[in-house]
Amino acid sequence: MKVLVVGSAGREHALAWKIAQSPKVDEVIGAPGNAGMTRIGRCFPGVSGTDCDAVVALAREEEVDLVVVGPEDPLAAGVSDRLREAGFAVFGVSQAAAQLESSKSFAKDFMQRHGIPTAAYATFDDAAAASAYVKAQGVACVVKADGLAAGKGVAMCETPADAEAAIAEMMNDRRFGDAGDRIVIEEWMQGEEASYYAITDGENVVTLATSQDHKRALDGDRGENTGGMGAYSPAPVLTEACEKRVLEEIVHPAIRGMREEGNRYQGVLYVGLMIDAEGVPRVVEFNVRFGDPETQALLVRMQGDLVPLLEGAAHGRLDASTALAWGDAAVCVVMASGGYPRAYESGKAIRGVEDAEDDHVVVFHAGTKLAGDGFETAGGRVLGVTARGSDVREARDRAYAAVSKIHFEGAFSRSDIASRALDR
Helix axes 127-137, 160-167, angle to 10 degrees: 170
Beta bridge partners of 211: 195
CATH of domain 120-187: 3.30.1490.20
What is the DSSP track for 360-390? SEEEEESSEEEETTEEEE-SSEEEEEEEEES
Burial of 23 (0-12, 13-18, 19+ CB in 10 A): exposed
Calculate helix-pair angle for 10-19, 294-301, nearest 10 degrees.
20
Is residue 397 predicted with pLDDT exceeding 80? yes
Instruction: Give the model's pLDDT for residue 323.
Output: 86
Q: Report domain extents, the chain.
A: 2-92, 120-187, 190-326, 329-422
pLDDT digits 0-9 by tens, 89-129: 999 999 999 999 999 999 999 999 999 999 999 999 999 99
Question: Mean pLDDT over residues 374-384, rounded?
Answer: 97
Helix or strand or coil: residue 129? Answer: helix
Nearest to 313 by CA among 198, 209, 208: 198
User: Residue range 308-314: average pLDDT?
Assistant: 97
Mean pLDDT value across residues 278-288: 95
Mean pLDDT of 293-317: 97
- 149 pLDDT band, cuts 50/70/90, is confident
How far apart are the C-alpha atoms of 251 and 191, rounded to whole Å?
A: 20
Q: What is the mean pLDDT of the chain?
A: 96
Task: Give the pTM.
Answer: 0.93
Closest CA to 7 of 39, 41, 40, 44: 44
List, in order, residues 6 or more apart from 95 with CB less than 8 Å away: 75, 76, 77, 78, 80, 81
Secondary-structure breakdown of the chain: helix, strand, coil percentages, each rounded to the nearest 5? 30, 30, 40
Q: What is the CATH number of domain 329-422?
A: 3.90.600.10
Q: Sorting pLDDT into bands at 50, 70 and 90, what band is 266?
A: very high
* pLDDT of 150 over the 80 cut: no
pLDDT at 82 over 80: yes
Tell me which of 3.30.230.10, 3.30.470.20, 1.10.645.10, 1.20.1530.20 is the CATH number of domain 190-326: 3.30.470.20
SS3 296: helix
Distance CA 19, CA 24 (A): 9
CA 90, distance to chain mean position in Å, is 18
**pLDDT score, position 107:** 96
The pLDDT value given to residue 269 = 97
Q: Is the pLDDT of residue 424 over 90?
A: no
The per-residue pLDDT for 282 is 97
Percent of the chain with pLDDT over 90: 96
Residue-level pLDDT at 248: 97
User: pLDDT, tens digit, for every residue of 193-227?
Assistant: 999 999 999 999 999 999 999 999 999 999 998 98
Quickly name the fold that domain 2-92 has: Rossmann fold (3.40.50)
